[in-house]
Structure 1
Amino acid sequence: MLKKILFVALAFSLTNCLVLNPVGATVDREKGSEVASRITDAAIQTDLINSTILVGRPFISIYSLIAADIANIDSAKYYVKADVDQCVSDIKGFKGFVLGSVIANILSCQDLKTDGYLTGDPFPTF
């Protein structure tokens, strides 16, 4: 009986990431549609602040409206939350103010890690 319990516990711990990550049930993952929305909002906010300070009137670039497409975000996949948070903070932060939201997006958001069934952040890379 103890062997069965240990086997079930081991099997569950090994397959936990395989089952929970693709459905977005883990804490450190975000759905692609949410990521796209956060990146687009950050780019719009940065453009509004930069244009108001530099030009004197609010202006939104067309590139801010397609910021999620520039970052190659797939709305059906899940992304590592820490990487998304870093991307959004780069767009809203000093890098976004100095370089602009488009270039900050290209530099910070191009290599966001997606989470898959057999690959992703929970598994070690060799």
Structure 2
Amino acid sequence: MRKILCMGMFSLLSFANCLAMDSLGLSESVKGSEARSQIKAAALTSDILFYGSADPANAAMITAIDLFLTDLYLKIDDSKYYKKADVDKCVKDVQVIGLLVMDPSQTVLTSKNCSDLKANGPII
């Protein structure tokens, strides 16, 4: 019984420590809300550069629609944590592919780096 209690306390403390590490930003993780804002900022920049030069008259309207679609396609839970390296890959795709090949919302939808973002799992 004592062994089970000790193992339970150890597991609880380990889990709490990992949660504290994530929330303090010490585990190379990014909170979902921060990841979403980074990706949307990259999408905004790509939209402004592309539509501002291609169709300046309608750039604001097209950019607003594309940002709405980007937010809609992002499968990110704002309360969970994501690996910073994975979020950075998605941001890079949105900056490069979203500007040169297709719009950012379609990049978020089709890019493996963006559509496969997985939250950090629970520590057991």
Distance in structure 2 (CA, Å) of the matches to 1:54 and 1:28:
38
Verify the 8 A CA contact 1:21 1:117 in the aligned structure 2: no
Conserved? CA contact 1:24–1:31, under 8 Å: no
Amino acid at match of 2:55: V
Query: 1:36–1:73: 8 Å Cα contact kept in structure 2?
Result: yes
Alpha-carbon distance between aligned partners in 1 of 2:20 and 2:80, rounded to the nearest angstrom = 13
Gaps of 5+ in 2: 1-9
Q: TM-score, normalised by structure 1?
A: 0.70
Partner in structure 1 of residue 4 of structure 2: none
Q: TM-score, normalised by structure 2?
A: 0.71
Equivalent residue pairs, number: 107
| Counterpart residue type for residue 91 of structure 2 | V
Checking the alignment, whether the CA contact within 8 Å between 2:43 and 2:67 is kept in structure 1 is yes
The one of 104, 111, 115 equivalent to 2:116 is: 111
Q: Note the C-alpha offset of 1:21.
A: 5.0
TM-superposed deviation, 1:22: 5.0
The structure that is helix-richer by fraction is: 2
Instruction: Give distance in 1, aligned partners of 2:72 and 2:44.
Output: 14
Which residue of 1 is the match for residue 85 of structure 2? 82
* Equivalent residue, structure 2, for 1:72: 75
In structure 1, list runs of 5 or more residues that go unmatched.
1-10, 120-126
